[in-house]
Amino acid sequence: MFEILRKALLAGVGVTYLTKDKIEEVGKKIAQDAKVNEAEGRKFVDELVKKSMEAKDSLEKTVADKIQTAVHAMNLPTRKDVDDLKSRIAELEANLPKGR
């Protein structure tokens, strides 16, 4: 029973959105309900936290990649493009004759 609950919770997308404290709280509750020993309970909670952080990192990377793809597809200038243009304008202004 505990193993089924563990797998179901780990497979749930909702784990991605839980805070570390909430994950630990849920994990401890499940471990208590399943009547597992303290070592198994701690291992379960640690696994939940680890999987949640991995899922969160993966989601953040996916979102960042999608945003980058969208910006590129819309042909919007990047911060680097704008900074390069600012530098080029400053350089050109510095080379203008002083009397103008």
Enumerate the domain spans of the chain. 2-94
Q: What is the mean pLDDT of residues 47-64?
A: 82
* C-alpha separations of 81 from 76, 77, 87, 88 in Å: 9, 6, 10, 11
CB atoms closer than 10 angstroms to residue 21? 9
CB atoms closer than 10 angstroms to residue 6? 20
pLDDT at 20 over 50: yes
> What's the CA dihedral at 83, 84, 85, 89 to 10 degrees?
100
Q: Which of 2-6, 54-58, 71-75 has the lowest mean pLDDT?
A: 2-6
Cα radius of gyration (the chain): 25
